[in-house]
A and B are shown apart, each in its own frame.
Chain A
Amino acid sequence: MSRMQVFEGVKVAEFAWVAVGPQVGRTLAEHGATVLHIESHRRPDLLRLSSPFKDFEPGIDRSGLFAMLNTNKCSISLDLSKPKGKDIARKVIEWADIVTESFGPGTMKRLGLNYEEVKKIRPDIIYISTCMQGQYGPHASFRAYGMQLGALSGFPALVGRPDGEPMHPMAYTDWLAPWYLVTALIGAMLRRRKTGKGMYLDQAQYEAGVTFLAQGILDYTVNGRVMNRMANRDPYAAPHGAYPCQGEDRWCVITIFTDEEWEAFCQVLGNPEWTKDAKFATLLGRKRNEDELDRLVAEWTINYTAEEVTALMQATGIPASVVYTIEDVFNDPQLKHRQHFVYLDHPVIGRHAYHNEAIRFSKSPPDFWKAAPCLGEDNEQVYKEILGLTDAEIADLLAEGVITTDADLPEGLAL
């Protein structure tokens, strides 16, 4: 696309790995920034070791999740544990406008690449640290993954039956934190344009995550109530649940909040006797008899496909839908209309799908022009053209193992 990209010319040194930091870099890269994803064959980005792998075969360039989060980026392989590796890292930082990292607190300091040191190289740098619980505090050393943090952030406690076990909603905080970070980062970038000053952004993904519990936090501190999971129920609606439909493990959701919706619902069912029972006529009545109500609704839905239930409900203005599997999502006509799935050719994985944004811009849309990089794929281009190293310098760094290659992969990861 020849349209101007918002972040064209913006340069990002992405020391960040796994999910949150790279999603920030991905948003910037999709809007034109040059993002260098920095890793090494001795210590690749951990997400490269995470399934799902293409055809179930593990491999550092076969991870679907790594690919999903690293569109449009360049990957360089650099061993930061070596002194010359740190020198190169400083060259990268000199080049960059933005530095991101997501290591445990103290790691970048041990590498001599923390904000205070980096400010000496680039006084106006915008430096982002995102980690589980923040840069300081008694739990700052917390070393876990998105799921553990999700558990700490209160979400699994809110999923499932009240009398059943809690369940993980995936790695939930990983998909809240990055959007907040981009929002703040752009504010910092605009401020720098005006003032010439940089900034340090310290994100605790725990703190970002907990914002999505706000109403529960207020309810606890004001009313002393600890919100618990309530399956699919809602205090202000009934029926409100997931109901079984025809087919294997197929479900619909029906959510009825108003009298009008309830009346329309009864009509759709053909006004069977049970719907005329006075106890179901009011919201309070339906809430008092909700177990029976849910059972009766399920006895009706089981005779139809989820698609049929949805069509019947939506036709009369009742909010209802199929519970989509991921396969259903890929086939959804609305997402096709939004062009949600962007297909790019990855050298190892082949042609595969990337998320578009949830946002459509009338004047500054993103551009998806490159699949995620293989490890070290862009070494030559970056070391020569961006950092200005000579062929001889690069050869030396390779010989010394500062620039790593496949030969440096730890046993067990070898391709």
Chain B
Amino acid sequence: MRGKKEFEVMRNLSNREGGLLNSYRVLDLSNEKGLLCGKILGDFGADVIKIEPPGGDSARNIGPFYKDIAHPEKSLYWFALNTSKRGITLNIETADGREIFKRLVKTADFVIESFDPGYMDSLGLGYPALEQINPHMIMTSVSPFGSSGPYTHYKATDMVLWAMSGFMSTCGQTSEPPYRVSIPQSYLHGSLHAAMGSMIALYYRELTGEGQHVDISIQEANFFSTDWAMPMWDLNSINLRRSGAGGFVDRPTPPGPFWIRFIWPCKDGHVSLFLAGGAQAGLVKSSTQLVEMANSEGMAEYLKDYDWTTHDMSNTSQEERSQIEEAVIAFLRTKTKEELYDAALEKGMVLGSLSTIKDIMGSPQLAVREYFVEVQHPELGDTIIYPGAPVKLSEVPWRISRRPPLIGEHNEEIYEKELGFTKEELSRLKAAKVI
């Protein structure tokens, strides 16, 4: 594969050298609702310690799995969200566990958790208690609805949160149910906002020396993604309707609502194309180029010399629009998505191929950008390819500094070498199910 990078799994911390956040430590207590947050901070160089219950976090039972072997050390779901973290086991429900946790809190800059609101408080480990131990520490809590309010203890899953954010209502056809995205997204949004919130709090600490409690609602995080649907309701009391492969342009009657296609079939799949004009010069150019391309192959003849500046969505008729779209579809069906995408790049057309994951893995752009990262998994005798940096930084590296941890992999490193427990004490703690 072109453009691949290989990283050695290293035992020591020198692989965080030069990282943007390499002087900060994160204690990551999260489950699937918050795992991405620690990964983001860790990939930017922070020393992230993933703390799991003895036997491993429940998220390790979520698939897909490495070669379909359902095993807590082979969950690809787990792998995807836990790079650049060391791993220890600790049962914070025991007195010994809580004491050890508090010792670690003294050394930490961040504590991330995604338990049910109130759980940490019930253990005497809520923010007010931890603030006493380390007033510089930032505690970031991710939960479905936030730490207080009438729905705080509602039972929520990915799809429930997708539905309650309004986003689900925007996807689908009116003749069918609304749809979610088939790779669950909700917890990722919550966790990403958690990383951002943690950094804002860190900046506050830089100015004041004080930590604070940062409280994320996954429902609110999802809601941002509804984009223009929010002002559609707020300004004009229109609920964005599911519109299938296109969108409704809401207009007052006359002339009434208007549907334009966004997803267009082509020879071997689909493309996303915004075929429009009016006052937007870029769209006029794009649409003109597409028609020229069709004309050059003897297609869409009736659109030759069509003046796209007159294609004003506020009063073009649905009939005219549908006719135009039919003619364009006939042309698109003669071309593959790659051909259309390459033409779009060359001619500046507002068109993108509708990619599958396989298409993405083969992207020449991502290859030249060296986007994907190969990470060694010696425990599997294999290397696995991961997505890479969400932002490229000029002065400092972004890197996956280590593969996701095995269960309790760094117990010795943290408990013995750092906290000074003896092997005998650790045996005792293990037998007592503290670690």
> Quick check: is A215 within 8 A (CB to CB) of the other chain?
yes
Known: A161-B176, A187-B199, A326-B239. A50 touches B171 (CB 8 A): no
Q: How far is the CA of A352 from the CA of B231 in the complex (A)?
A: 9
Interface segment among B7-15, B216-224, B424-432: the answer is B216-224
Is there an interface contact between B364 and A203, defined as CB atoms closer than 8 Å? no
Q: Which residues of A contact B177 (CB under 8 A)?
A: 231-232, 241-244, 251
Q: Which of A182, A233, A323, A334 contacts B196 (CB 8 A)?
A: A182
Asked if A136 and B163 sit within 8 Å, CB to CB, the answer is no
Which residues in chain B, 201-224, are within 8 Å of chain A measured between CB atoms?
201-204, 206-208, 210, 212-221, 223-224
Contact of B249 among A51, A222, A328 (CB under 8 A): A51
Question: When the two chains form their complex, are residues B149 and A338 in contact, meaning their CB atoms are under 8 A apart?
Answer: yes
Residue of B nearest to A165 (CB): B245
Q: Which of A134, A155, A327 contacts B239 (CB 8 A)?
A: A327
- B183 touching A216, Cβ below 8 Å: yes
B40, A180: Cβ atoms under 8 Å? Answer: yes
Interface string of A85-113 (1 = CB under 8 A from B): 00000000000000000000000000000
Are A201 and B183 interface neighbours, CB within 8 A? no
Q: Tell me, rounded to whole Å, the shortest Cβ–Cβ distance linking A148 to chain B.
A: 3
CB-based contact B220/A152 at 8 Å: no
Task: Give every chain A residue within 8 A of B76 (Cβ-Cβ).
Answer: 215, 218-219, 222-223
| Interface range, A side | 35 or more
Q: Is B244 an interface residue (CB 8 A)?
A: yes
| Interface assignment of A213: CB less than 8 Å from any CB of chain B | yes
A215 to chain B: which residues have CB within 8 Å?
Answer: 64, 76-77, 80, 183
If the complex has contacts A144-B274, A149-B352, are A359 and B64 also in contact, measured as CB distance less than 8 A? no
Asked whether A212 lies within 8 Å of B185 as measured between CB atoms, the reply is: yes
Which chain B residues border A186 with CB–CB below 8 Å? 196, 199-200, 202-203
Contacts of B282 in A (CB 8 A): 46, 143
Contacts of A271 in B (CB 8 A): none
Q: Is A382 an interface residue (CB 8 A)?
A: no
The reply to whether A324 and B40 contact each other, CB–CB distance below 8 Å, is no
Question: Could you say which of B291-299, B328-336, B389-397 contacts chain A?
Answer: B389-397
Closest to A318 in B: B155
Q: State A73–B146 Cα separation when bound (angstroms).
A: 28
Q: How far is the CA of A176 from the CA of B274 in the complex (A)?
A: 21
- Residue A413 lies at the interface, judged by CB distance under 8 Å to chain B: yes
Q: Which residues of B contact A161 (CB under 8 A)?
A: 176, 179
Q: Which residues of A contact B147 (CB under 8 A)?
A: 360
B343 located at the interface, meaning its Cβ lies under 8 Å from any Cβ of chain A in the complex: no
Contact in complex: B167, A170 (CB < 8 Å): yes
Contact of A272 with B by CB under 8 A: no
Contact status A147-B262, CB under 8 Å? yes
Smallest Cβ-Cβ distance to B280: which chain A residue:
A49
Near A by CB (< 8 A), chain B positions 269-308 give: 270-274, 278-280, 282, 286
Evaluate contact between B390 and A68: CB separation under 8 angstroms.
no
Is A263 interfacial (CB-CB < 8 Å)? no
* Complex contacts, B245 vs chain A, CB 8 Å: 165-168
Chain A 302-321 per-residue mask, 1 if CB under 8 angstroms from chain B, else 0: 00000000000010011111
Interface centre among B44, B369, B384 (most CB of A within 10 A): B369
Decide if A121 is an interface residue (CB 8 Å cutoff).
no
B314 within 8 A of A: yes
Contact indicator per residue, chain B 386-405, by CB within 8 Å of chain A (1) or not (0): 11111111111000000000
A221 close to chain B: CB less than 8 A: yes
Q: Which of A150, A151, A204, A208 contacts B271 (CB 8 A)?
A: A151
B347: min CB distance to chain A, Å:
10
Contact A364 B183 (CB under 8 A): no
On chain A, the residues within 8 Å of B239 by CB distance are 325-327
Q: How far is the CA of A240 from the CA of B163 in the complex (A)?
A: 13
A contact face: mostly helix, strand, loop, or mixed = mixed
User: A193 in the interface, Cβ–Cβ < 8 Å?
Assistant: yes
With A64-B231, A325-B239, A363-B204 as known contacts, state yes or no: A152 contacts B355, CB within 8 Å: yes
Give bound CA distance, A147 to B188, whole Å: 20
**Cβ-based interface call for B344 (8 A):** yes
Complex Cα gap A188–B176 (Å): 46
Whether the pair B357, A226 counts as a contact (CB closer than 8 A) is yes
Separation of A189 and B207 alpha carbons in the complex (Å): 12
Residue B232 at the chain A interface, CB threshold 8 Å: yes
A319 touching B155, Cβ below 8 Å:
yes
Complex: chain B residue closest to A47, CB-CB: B228
**Which chain B residues numbered 110 to 145 have a C-beta less than 8 Å away from chain A?**
127, 145
Is A147 a contact partner of B183 (Cβ separation < 8 A)? Answer: no
Q: Given the known inter-chain contacts A155-B181, A230-B182, A326-B239, please indicate yes or no for A179 contacting B361, CB distance below 8 A.
A: no
A54-62, A74-82, A373-381 - the one binding chain B:
A54-62
Contacts of A136 in B (CB 8 A): 368-369
Set of chain B residues within 8 Å of A410, measured between Cβ atoms: 279
Q: How far is the CA of A168 from the CA of B273 in the complex (A)?
A: 11
Give the contacting residue for B387; candidates A49, A214, A232; CB below 8 A.
A214
A199 & B231 in contact (Cβ 8 Å cutoff): no
Residues 213-255 (chain A) with a chain B CB within 8 angstroms:
213-223, 225-237, 240-244, 249, 251, 253, 255
Q: Can you report 25 A-B residue pairs in the complex whose CB atoms are below 8 A from each other?
A: A56-B252, A138-B345, A144-B351, A151-B354, A168-B263, A168-B272, A182-B199, A199-B394, A217-B80, A219-B357, A220-B361, A228-B182, A242-B177, A244-B177, A253-B163, A318-B155, A319-B155, A323-B169, A334-B146, A334-B149, A355-B224, A355-B230, A359-B196, A360-B147, A361-B200
Given contacts A143-B348, A329-B165, 11 further A-B pairs with CB under 8 A are A161-B179, A166-B354, A175-B189, A179-B192, A183-B44, A186-B196, A218-B79, A253-B163, A323-B168, A338-B217, A360-B216
